C-alpha cells in the first residue's frame, strides 16, 4: 500500500509542472461531487488533459457496557481513501459555447484501521482479514460523457456535464490466513461493481 501511495504522489508531482510547461493551467471544481470534484488541467488546443485527487475518510466508535459486571468493550474503526484520477476533455467546437466529450480513470488507495479494547487489554485489526478489506476498498473506476462550457470573462468559465461512471473492486480471502467471512478450510473471491449516471456543474479558472 505504501508503494502505491508513493507512486501516486510522485506521478502527481511530476504531472503538475509538466502540464504548466505545456500550456496555461486550468483549475476546475464541481461543488457537491463525492468523487472527481476538482481537477488541474492544461489548456492547449482541442485536447485538455487533467489530473485530480480526492480524499474520503470515515471513522466510528462503539462502546458496549455490561452494568452487571461493570465491564465494557470498546470498538474503534476508521478508513481513509486517497483517490487520484487522470482524464481528458476533447473540445468539438471553439465557439463561444464550447462543446466537448470527456473520459477519465480513477483508483482508490485505502488505509484501514480498527481496534478492540476490553478493560486493560487491547487488540488491533491486523493480518489477512485487514488486507482483504483494504483490497475491497481499493476500487478503480472509469467515466465518460459530454458537456458544454461558456466563458463569461477572460479567466472564468462555467459548464455542465452529463456522463456515466463504472466502479469495480475485487478481493480474495483465505480462512486459514484470517478471512472476514469464512470458516477453516474455505476461501473466497469477492467482486463488486457499481454503474451510475451523473450530472454536474463545472466551474473553471484559467491561470
- List the domain boundaries for the chain: 2-206
Distance (Å, rounded) from C-alpha 116 to C-alpha 55? 26
Residue 71: the pLDDT is 77
The number of residues in the chain equals: 207
Residues 6+ apart with CB under 8 A from 55: 80, 81, 82, 83
Residue 162: the pLDDT is 97
Residue 14: the pLDDT is 46
Residue 8: the pLDDT is 53
CA-nearest of 59, 86, 87, 88 to 75 is 59
CB 172 within 8 A of CB 132: yes
Scanning the structure block, which residue is given the C-alpha cell 455542465? 160
Instruction: Tell how strand 47-66 and strand 156-174 pair up.
Output: unpaired
- Quick count: other Cβ atoms within 10 Å of Cβ 162? 12
Q: pLDDT tens per residue, the chain (207 residues)?
A: 455 554 555 455 445 555 445 568 899 999 888 888 889 988 777 889 999 999 999 999 988 887 777 778 888 999 999 999 999 999 998 778 999 999 999 999 999 998 888 877 888 877 777 888 888 899 999 999 999 999 988 889 999 999 999 999 988 766 555 555 555 555 677 889 999 999 999 999 988
Amino acid at each position: 500500500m505504501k508503494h502505491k501511495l508513493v507512486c501516486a504522489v510522485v506521478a502527481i508531482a511530476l504531472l503538475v509542472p509538466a502540464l504548466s510547461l505545456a500550456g496555461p493551467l486550468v483549475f476546475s471544481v464541481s461543488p457537491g461531487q463525492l468523487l472527481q470534484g476538482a481537477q488541474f488541467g492544461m489548456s492547449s488546443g482541442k485536447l485538455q488533459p487533467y489530473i485530480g485527487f480526492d480524499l474520503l475518510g470515515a471513522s466510528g466508535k462503539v462502546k458496549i457496557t455490561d452494568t452487571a459486571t461493570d465491564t465494557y468493550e470498546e470498538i474503534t474503526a476508521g478508513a481513509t481513501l486517497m483517490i487520484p484520477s487522470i482524464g481528458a476533455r476533447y473540445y468539438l467546437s471553439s465557439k463561444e459555447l464550447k462543446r466537448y466529450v470527456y473520459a477519465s480513470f480513477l483508483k482508490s488507495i485505502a488505509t484501514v484501521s480498527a481496534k478492540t479494547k476490553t478493560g486493560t487489554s487491547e487488540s488491533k485489526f491486523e493480518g489477512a482479514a485487514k488486507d482483504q478489506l483494504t483490497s475491497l476498498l481499493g476500487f478503480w473506476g472509469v467515466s465518460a460523457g459530454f458537456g458544454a462550457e461558456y466563458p463569461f470573462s477572460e479567466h472564468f468559465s462555467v459548464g455542465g456535464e452529463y456522463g456515466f461512471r463504472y466502479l469495480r473492486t475485487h478481493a480474495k480471502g483465505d480462512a486459514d490466513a484470517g478471512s472476514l467471512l469464512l470458516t477453516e478450510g474455505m476461501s473466497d473471491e469477492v467482486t463488486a461493481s457499481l454503474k451510475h449516471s451523473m450530472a454536474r456543474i463545472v466551474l473553471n479558472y484559467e491561470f
